[in-house]
Structure 1
């Protein structure tokens, strides 16, 4: 009697620790990003101290965005995650750096629309990172 041994496919590397790191970073980033329009609104309603907190949170966002780039790099390279995540986080970091500059220069005609764009991208990234698609390795459908 002959038995057939079927070779099993080696499991592909999937982003695990790097995905959870990215999830944590993107969620923390989203919370800080969503606080920004609230703080700006408080300032506009007369709470003059809110603008200092708005500036502080904005500066901290640059640090979080820098960490996001490192987390995305680990996710893409080490975890074999989706490639597009890395350039998007780099662009987000650059946009937030520019946002800090135009905010300090009081160029509201740029600061407000750029802030809206940053919020939209942050929401979309944070929503995507919790989907099953984010957990699949690169090349898998």
Structure 2
């Protein structure tokens, strides 16, 4: 009597948890990059742009929670340990950024905005890199 043994197929490419993280980070990045453009439009005389800037900022705070959740799932499935604390810090910074913006504390709002934008760009570059797709421990 023959026994059927199915070969174990190695999974190739990123899994669902990484794709969820990639999509969320990309949407977050597009919204973060829109913020300085909207602020610049306001400074050049388009007074309606500041209202959109505020709405996008508030939406970023909500999307930050989705980003934290997607990162937690990624961490459980295959992720690097540093990613979750980094994303939580980004979420907290974006929330602080929103509060400072509505309070008009621009001497902190503007440099913090630069930091949030830079951190988001770095995160987006990493999440689309091959390093993000490798399982924890670097095994291939």
CA distance in 2, matches of 1:86, 1:72: 6
Whose RCO is larger (CA < 8 A, sep 6+)?
A: 1
Instruction: Figure out how many residues of one structure are paired with residues of the other and give that number.
Output: 133
1:136 aligns with 2:139: no
- In the TM superposition, what is the alpha-carbon distance from 1:80 to its structure 2 partner? 1.7
Mapped to 2, the partners of 1:87 and 1:138 lie a distance apart of 16
Distance in 2 (alpha carbons) for counterparts of 1:9 and 1:135: 20
Unaligned runs of 5+ in 2: 1-6
Q: Is the 8 A contact 1:40 1:51 kept in 2?
A: yes
Q: Which residue of 1 aligns with 2:91?
A: 93
What TM-score, normalized by structure 2, do the two folds share? 0.89
Report what 1:48 is aligned to: 47
TM-score (norm 1): 0.88
For 2:22, the equivalent position in structure 1 comes to 23
Deviation of 1:10 after TM superposition, in Å, equals 9.0
Cα deviation for residue 11 of structure 1 reads 5.3
| C-alpha distance in 1 between matches for 2:115 and 2:75 | 24
How far the C-alpha of 1:9 sits from its partner, in A, is: 9.4
1:104 aligns to what? 102
Of residues 105, 113, 116 in structure 2, which corresponds to 1:115? 113
> Runs in 1 of length 4+ with deviation above 2 angstroms?
8-12
